[in-house]
Amino acid sequence: MLSVVEIPGKGRGVVATEDIAEGAVIETASVQLFDNSQTLPTELSILQFEWDEERDAIVMGKMTFTNHSSNPNCRIEHDFDNSTISLIAERPIKKGQELTFDYGCPLWFEEI
């Protein structure tokens, strides 16, 4: 359902490999949790997701490469009991379309 590809002007991103219905769970991935006071190596810090007030997470799935949009076509949902995170379609997504979600934090880059 997903493919990680180069997105012009953005670097890596995720696109749909088939049409996706609104409300569909696109991917559910395990996470590796760590204390958010820890400083991660630069290569890992760009993959960091906020988990809760005390912990951050590295997501073990393709959604890690999903780009930000202030008008996203996806959202993420945390499952705190099972230490997983899911990418959910907010509206229908066509094959070949880039998947995006709102990072929900101050951006460290200029939005395209």
For the chain, domain boundaries: 2-94
Backbone angles phi, psi at 23, to 5 degrees: 85, -5
SS3 call for 45: helix
Residue 50 phi/psi, 5-degree rounding, is -70, 130
Query: Whole-prediction pTM value?
Result: 0.86
Per-residue pLDDT of the chain (112 residues; tens, 9 = 90+): 899 999 898 888 999 999 999 999 999 999 999 998 888 777 777 778 889 989 989 999 999 898 888 899 999 999 999 999 999 999 999 999 999 998 665 555 565 6
Contact yes or no for 2/27 (Cβ under 8 A): yes
CB neighbours of residue 5 within 10 Å: 13
Neighbours of 64 (CB within 10 A): 19
CATH architecture, domain 2-94: Beta Complex (2.170)
